[in-house]
Amino acid sequence: MTDESPADIDLADPQYYLNRELSELAFQSRVLNEALDDRNPLLERVRFLSIFTKNLDEFFMKRVGGLKQQIDAGVTERTTDGRTPREQWEEAIDKARPMFERQAACYREEIRPALADAGIRICDYDDLTPDQRAEMRDYFELSVLPTLTPLSFDPAHPFPFISNLSLSLAVITRDDDGDQTFTRVKIPQNRPRLVEVDTDGDEVRYVLLEEVIRANLDLLFPNVEVVDTAVFKLTRNAEVRRNEEVAEDLIDMIEEVLEQRRFATVVRLEIEADAPEAARDLLVEQLDLDDREVFELRGPLDYRELMDLADLDRPDLSLASWTPQPHPRFSALGPTDAGIGSGGASPEAAGEDGDTVFDEIRRKDVLLHHPYHSFGDTVQQFLDAAATDPDVLAIKAAIYRTASDSKVIEALIDAADNGKQVAAMVELKARFDEQNNLEWVRRLEEEGIHVAYGTIGLKTHTKTALVVREEEDGVRLYSHVATGNYHSGTAKGYVDLGVLTADRDIGQDLVKVFNFFTGPSLDEEFRKLLIAPVTMRNEFTKCIRREAEHARAGRDARIVAKMNALEDPGIVEELYEASMAGVDIDLLVRDICRLRPGLEGVSETVTVRSVVDRFLEHSRIFYFENAGDPDYYVGSADWMTRNLDKRVEAVAPVEDPDIREQLRFVLELGFADNRKAWEMNADGTYDQRAPGDDHEISMQRILMDQTLAASNTPGVHRGISASHPDVPETLLVESDPSVMAPRDGADEAREETDVESDADADADAESVTEPVVEADAGAPTNGDPQYVLDSYPEKWYVPSSRHYEYAVRTPDGDRDYRKTAEAAARLVEKYYGEK
């Protein structure tokens, strides 16, 4: 332990915080590892090469672009981790450079040869046969050449505009007088990047489009000599914005931002490693680039189009396909049942003909888990039902991102056509989806739908929908509170959660939120929902501090949270304080994490893990043990400053025991994963977990299996079974009355009997959810846990689990698992000690 007392530790010291940008790059390194990992099927590795390119493009556009903007503005203020914008910019570029080199080497030395061995050959142009080269020349002349527009730079022509992320060919030509000219040729994005070459056998051959163009430049530049060429790609700053407070119209402002991005500052130049020095120097000079911003790379400069290979029908080279399943609660509802039904069915009417989605939700809350559950057969079905049900009075939805052919929007339009009141909040400031959302705003407004499309100073990031329905007992509110967007495409590749509920308090809270979108102000009091930016930060802070108070009083205290990012310095400091008080804190953070786990005297009780797998982990779950009376939450917000203070977000408490059980399973499965999980070190690096002598445990694989089992088993109502022999059960789901603390806070919690000893410390660390109970004087403890176990030989056994040494039989016929004899003995005493 450190010699410093908690009071001596200054948690504002930069040494306790990791840098946001470098943490983001650490995540991207884990993404790249999926391409480097030869345990993955070949086409899955190809897919991650493409994903890595897309992610790093966005990182440079947003994060590096923002840093460069600050540098140009003369900003020198240091971040929480003690770095200036220039220091961050330099370190980010220095860390990214070897990652690009690893990507290129992986493609060149591993992926491309392995593809060739599998009959998928990406050829150099010179490797083509004479007949194939003739075929490519014909293709170029007929299908590519007419699309090209060479832009020269000479005394008669200014330096050409080069668009963001476009792949280009720099061509240096020489005329009869010996004068050289630089010309930029844009590689057309409306032509396939991978040009298929005819072959006689089963082998599939491709050649890159830029190589086809390069080999046939004599047709584009007749009567001059092509001296040299180089492929290059520019990345421009996406952080261009206007002051919202002086913008007369938000739509006009967004359109101007989109236009400005086309001409924004260049933040990166990627160019072939053997590019002619004249072309490189000219680009650096004309684009006003620092040498640090130039990345000279061997191999293709852009791997995004390799995603087309990942879609080839080669099951031998791919992961097993996955089809999202209908939720068991909705699968019995046929297409004609979606909209019209009983309108007020009692719980006894379950399963009867005529039941609707609304009957099912009213009967019991529903947890949806995408992409394990089908978006179309759940969320879309809910909205379609609302659009056609004659008893529905109104539909309201918050759209942050949606598909370009969105059926969600079509359902809102259908609802308006059917005479329902429809209101939509479409966030125009959703980065890189602005154009798509602008088009939907115009379409909705043409249909006469009430559309709000932004608020000054805030983004609307909440993923919520509200249906207002007239029923026999009055108007009822049906709510959908989710972690993911109303986007059918991303719902197939992003892991997200959503709760469908008829809880009136949640519905009334959503009424207030939607009124804010079209009204003058946001209410500051809510019944159940945690709403940013008004209540969420305070409520999460209270929950963290409450766990700290429980820990100081010797009560069970634990925080388990799953999120995309932990960036907010205030929350990190609260978690440090809680850890110093003795709270066990386990975090599943996919991406950015400022917190340093395992710091002596500061975060010794904190673990941080990250899961990177075929689906992007995007769900947010928060668990607070509360001395045996746990709280669960799900919603749209990460623990980032922007989510807590600068966005409209919604997080909902989960009270249904079945749903809490499923959330418990997801959290514990994330920490049991030994195939795709990474463990964070205090310095911000990560080590990938490995099965060792145990068999593999893959979080996403198990959830797919569980979902299939639930979907194919009659009588199952949960979306997943929430049980697996390799998954521990250390989180509480239902309150234990014997240890329940008053809901008003830790200060009023019951006094504990001092039943713990130093010998119990290891057991408590292993089994943090056991309620602390008074030892009965008649129980045969004898100070020896084995004595207790021997006294009740029929009440426990050794399970076949690789994680647990003991399984204790419960009085209701179930079993609880424990890792140590001490923990098992305490549980046996609780259930069977003499009363």
Q: Among all residues, which ones are annotated catalytic?
A: 461
The whole-angstrom separation of Cα 188 and Cα 209 is: 9
Contact 333, 354 (CB under 8 A): no
Q: For residue 786, what are the CA distances in angstroms to 789, 802, 824?
A: 5, 21, 9
Name the token pair of 767: 């089994």
Give me the residue label for tokens 């049980």. Answer: 723
The whole-angstrom separation of Cα 599 and Cα 597 is: 6
Cβ neighbour number for residue 266 with a 10 Å cutoff: 20
The whole-angstrom separation of Cα 770 and Cα 772 is: 6
Per the DSSP assignment, residues forming a β-bridge with 395 are 422, 467
Helix (H), strand (E) at residue 651: strand 647-653
Q: Measured over all CA atoms, what is the biggest interatomic distance in the chain, rounded to whole angstroms?
A: 108
DSSP notation for 273-301: TT--HHHHHHHHHHTT--GGGEEEESS-S
- Strand residues in 662-761 grouped as ranges (E): 677-680, 686-688
Among candidate residues 456, 295, 476, the one with its CA nearest the CA of residue 389: 476
The whole-angstrom separation of Cα 734 and Cα 831 is: 17
DSSP notation for 92-115: HHHHHHHHHHHHHHHIIIIIHHHH
Residues 6+ apart with CB under 8 A from 310: 43, 44, 46, 47, 50, 318
| Pairing of the two strands 631-635 and 621-624 | antiparallel
Radius of gyration of the chain (CA): 30
CA atoms within 13 A on the CB side of 410: 11
Residues 6+ apart with CB under 8 A from 410: none
Q: The dihedral of CA 37, 39, 42, 46: what is its sign?
A: negative
Name the token pair of 560: 């388990």
Contact 479, 653 (CB under 8 A): no
Report residue 534 CA to chain centroid gap.
Answer: 24
DSSP notation for 53-93: HHHHHHHIIIIIHHHHHHHHTT-----TTS--HHHHHHHHH
Amino acid identity at 323: T
Among candidate residues 280, 276, 272, 275, the one with its CA nearest the CA of residue 297: 272
The whole-angstrom separation of Cα 335 and Cα 317 is: 36
Helix (H, G, I), strand (E, B) or coil at 374: coil
Q: What angle do CA 812, 815, 819 make, to 5 degrees?
A: 150
Residues 6+ apart with CB under 8 A from 387: 339, 395, 411, 412, 414, 415, 418, 420
The whole-angstrom separation of Cα 92 and Cα 83 is: 12
Among candidate residues 160, 155, 182, 180, the one with its CA nearest the CA of residue 170: 182
Q: Which long-range contacts (CB under 8 A, 24 or more apart) does 654-661 make?
A: 654/365, 654/499, 655/503, 656/364, 656/365, 656/367, 657/733, 657/734, 658/364, 658/367, 658/717, 658/718, 659/365, 659/367, 659/499, 659/632, 660/630, 660/632, 660/733, 660/734, 661/718, 661/722, 661/733
